Chain A
Amino acid sequence: MTDTIVEEEQPAPLSTQPERPADPAGRGPIVAAVRIWRQFTSMRTALLLLALLALAAIPGTVIPQRGLDPVKVNSYLAAHPHLGPLMDKLSLFDVFAAPWFVLIFILLFVSVVGCVIPRVRLHYRAMRRRPPNAPRHLLRMSASTGWETDESPAALGKRVHTMLRSSHWRADLRTEADGGVTVSAEKGYLRETGNLIFHIALLLLLVGIALSSLYGYKGTVLVSQGGGFSNARADYDVFEPSRLFSDSQLSPFSLTMQSFKATYNPANGEPLTFKADVHYTSSPTSPSKPYVVQVNHPLNLPGAKVFLVGHGYSLIMKVTNADGTVKYDGPTAFLPDNSLFASHGVLKVPSLGAGGGQLGLTGEFYPTAAVTQSGGLQSIFPAPDHPVLALSAWQGNLGFNTGIPQSDYSLPVTGLKNIGITQLSPGGSWKLPDGATVKFVGVQQWATFQVAHEPGKRTVLVAAVLIVVGLLGSLRVRRRRFWIRAVPAPVGQDPRRTVVTAAGLARSDVGGFVDELDDLVKQIGRSPHGAIETERD
C-alpha cells in the first residue's frame, strides 16, 4: 500500500491479540515486578523462548545421548578423556533432561500461562461487546466500494442488519447525527477461541506428560520359548519405576510365550515379520487367553501395555559330567551382535563334581554359518538354516561365590584355563578332557517384552487433539469486520437517493475474503464493479 492516507484511516489491525492495558507508571518494586512480568509474557519473549528451545535441542541430536544409546556415550567418553567429563558436567549427554533445557521449557510454559489467562478474560469480554463503529471514510479502506440506491438509509440499514445476523455475524445498527445509518459487523471469533484452546492444550499436554513421568513404570524382560513372567518387579530384568510409583500399581497379569517366529526376505535377509504367540491372564483367577504380539501390535492389558521389542536365539545345551549325571539342561539366551544374528553367550556350570571344578563355556552362534575367506565363521542369513555353535571351554574359579554380580552374557577369562574349542551343529556332542560332555541339543528363540504403564497417556491424547483443533481454528478462521453506511444524498442532488459505502477488513487474509465481500455486497443488492463506475467522476 503506497497511500499513506489509506493507512491512517484504517482502524487498528484486527489482531486477535487483545489490547493490553498500558504499563503502570511510577517506581517501586511492585511496579517494576509488573513491568518485568509484562515483558516476560509478551509475544517477543515467547518468540525468543521458542527459538531458544529449538537451538537447545540441537546438541541432543549430534552428541550421543544416554537415554538413546548409553554404549555410544561411554565410548565417546573413552575417546575424549578431557572434553568428555566437561561435557558431562554440562549435561550434554542428557540434553533433554538437562537443567538448562528444562528451564527453557518451564519458562516457556510459565509465559504461556501468563499470556493466556488475561487473554481468556479479554476475549470473553470482546465476544459480548458491540462491534466497533464504522470508520468515517469507508472508501479509503483498501477493500471498499460504494453505490447509490433508492432505498431509504433506515430501511437499508435494517435489512442489512437482519441479513448479517441471520448469517451469524455479530452486527450492530447505529444511527448517526446526519441521518446516516451504519451497520458494523464482526465475525470469526473462533479464531481467538481456537488460539486460546491451542495454548491451553499445550499446558494440558504438559500435565499429561508429568502424570506419566511421575506415576508410570517400565519393565523389560527376556522370555525364552515356553517361558513366561508375571507383572512383578522381581520378574523383570530391568525395571524403571517413576518417582511416585508404588508396587500396588502393578496390575496382576502374567504371560507365557508359546512360540516366536521371525521371517526374513530371502533376497537380502531384511526382516519381514516378527510374531510372538503368547497366552496371558489378566489376573490370577481369570482364564488364559491367546494373543499374537507383533511389532506394531502390542498387547493391551488393564493398566499396562506389552510390547515386543527384541528377539534372538537361545541355545539348548546339555552338560553331563564324567559319571553321567546331568549338570545342566536347558536354553541359554545368546545376544545378537549384528542384523544377521551372529550372537554370543555364556554358560556357567557351578560344579562338575568329581574333581572337575567350575566350567565356563563361551560361545559364538551363527544361525546360517559360512566360512569367511580368512577361515573364520560368519552368519550370512538371520534364520537358523545352517546353525553352528562355536564353543570354548574354560576351567577355574568363575567367581560364583564372590558375591559380585555376574553378567549373563560374558565371562572374564583372565585366570581361567582354556581346555578346548570346538564347533557343533544341532545334535552334536563334545567330550571335554575331563570326561564331561557338552551336547548342543537345539535352537530356540527368545523375545524381549517391554511392559509400560503411562497414566497420563489419555490426557496427552486429549491435549493433542485439542492442539490440532485449536490450531485449525486459530489459523484457518478469518477474523473479519464489515461496515456499511447509508446516508441521504448531499444537498443539491436527488433527495430520494441514498449513497451507500461499504468496506471490509480481515486479519491475515487466508484467501477468499474478497469473494466473501463480493457476495455480501451482491446479496445487499449491488455489484461492486458497477458501483465503482458510478463513483468515478
Chain B
Amino acid sequence: MAPNLHLAHVSDVLLTWAVFCYAFAMLGYAAEFAGTRRAARAIENGERRNGALYSRRLGQAAVALTFIGWAIEVGSVTTRGLAVHRVPWGNMYEFSCMVTLVAVTIYLTLLLSQPLKRIGAFLTLRPSRHTMSWRSRESVRYLGAFLMAPVVLYIGIAATVLYAAPGPLVPALDSYWIKIHVVAAITATGAFMVSGVVTLLYLLKERYERGLPPLHMVIARRLRSPRHPEQFSFGPGTAAAAEMNAASSGLMQSLPSAESLDRLAYRVITFAFPVWTFAIIAGAIWAETAWSRYWGWDPKETWSFITWLGYAAYLHARATAGWRGRRAAMLSLIAFGSLMIDYYVVNTVITGLHSYAGIS
C-alpha cells in the first residue's frame, strides 16, 4: 500500500511542535535553576520578595510543557505509523524519534512516581542524626533541564540528517521480530540515554563534593593561559578552586547528592541492561531466521556486544572495591559512548548486513 503522504506530513509537523515544546521546557527548567539560586541569595540577604515562588512556577510550566511535548510526539509517531501502514520504527529517523519518546517517558514516569507534594522541593531540611527520616526521596525535576538537551539534539539530527521519506519496510525487516527486537533495543537505548545524563551529573556533583572545581572551568583557564600551568593549583581548598566552585555552586546545590544521583543512574541501568540483553538475544533469534546464523560478528552485532560488555563491566565495578563511584561511572559513560557508535557510526559509516538506516 502506498504511504499516505498527507498523514506523513501531519506527523512531520507534529514532530516540529514537540521539539518546540521540549526546547521551551528546557528553557523553563534552566530558568528555574537560575531563579532558585537568586532566590537563595535573596533569602540570605534577608529580602522578603525573593522570587522563589516565581521560579518554581517556571519549573512547573516546564514540566507541563514536557507533558504536552510528549503527547504531541506520541501523536507524531502514531500518525507516521498510520501513514506508512506499519510499525513506525523502520529506519534511523523513526528509531531516533522512538528513542527520545522512551527517554521522555522514563523521565515523566520518574517524576510521577514521586509524591506529588514533593515535586520541585529542591531544598530539604537536613534531619538530625537520631531522627533521620527514611523518606529521603528527592524530585527528579532537575533531570528535565539536562535531559531535554540530548532529546532535542537527537530529534534534530533525526529530522535533518537522517530523515527518511515515508515508505515500506525492506524485506529483511519485514517480520514480527521487528516488534520484539527493535522495541527492546529502542527501550533500552532510551533508558541508557537517561542514565547517561544522570551519570554525567553524578560526575559533576561528585567533583564538587570533593571540593574540586568543574572540569570545564579548569580547562577553560588552562587554555586561556597555557604558559604557566604552575600558577594554577586547583586542588580542594585552594583559592582558585573555591572561586570556581562559588561560580557553579547555584547549579551544584540544586542537584541532589552525588550518592543519590549514583543510585538513580544505577536504578535506570538495572532496568535498561536486562532489556538490552533481551534485545541482543531477540536479535540473534531474528538473525537466525533471516540470515541463517544467530551470530556472525557483523559490526552491528559486535558493537551491541561491546556495549553490553561495557555495562556488565560497570555493574561489576560497582561491586568492586576501588572501582565504585567515579570509575564505575566512567565505565558507564564509555558503554554509552559505544552505544552511540553502534547507533550513529555503525549504521551510517561501517554498515554491514544491518543496512536499514534508510538514508542514501
Contact = CB atoms under 8 A, between A and B. Distances in A.
B122 interface: no
A154 interface: no
A467 B133 CA distance: 38
Interface in A502-530: 504, 508-511, 514, 517-518, 528-529
Interface stretch (A48-56, A124-132, A156-164, A393-401): A48-56
A439 interface: no
Contact of B134 (A145, A298, A461): A145
Contacts of A265: 167-168
Nearest to A43: B320
A434 interface: no
Interface string A261-279: 0000101001111100000
A47 interface: yes
A3 B129 CA distance: 8
A237 B171 CA distance: 25
A296 B292 contact: no
A89 to B, nearest CB: 20
Nearest to B264: A511
A535 B131 contact: yes
A317 B306 CA distance: 51
Interface stretch (A58-66, A350-358, A363-371): A58-66
A305 interface: yes
Contacts of A294: 171
A305 B113 CA distance: 48
B121 interface: no
Chain A, interface size category, equals 35 or more
Contacts of A140: 129-130
Given A44-B320, A65-B297, A471-B274, A144 B132 contact: yes
Contact of A47 (B136, B297, B320): B320
Interface stretch (B6-14, B42-50, B99-107, B172-180): B172-180
A464 B267 CA distance: 23
Interface string B288-311: 111111111111001101100110
A419 interface: no
Which of B134, B172, B293, B305 has the largest number of chain A CB atoms within 10 A?
B134
Interface stretch (B146-154, B224-232, B240-248, B276-284): B276-284
Interface string A31-51: 000000000000110110011
B171 A61 contact: no
A5 interface: yes
A142 interface: yes
Interface of B: 113, 128-137, 167-168, 170-172, 174-175, 177, 259, 263, 266-267, 270-271, 273-274, 277-278, 281, 284-286, 288-299, 302-303, 305-306, 309-310, 312-313, 315-320, 322-323, 331, 338, 346, 350, 352
Given A57-B302, A508-B318, 5 more contacts: A43-B319, A139-B130, A298-B289, A468-B277, A514-B137
14 contacts: A50-B309, A51-B313, A53-B309, A61-B350, A68-B296, A140-B129, A273-B171, A295-B174, A295-B290, A307-B291, A457-B288, A471-B274, A532-B133, A536-B131
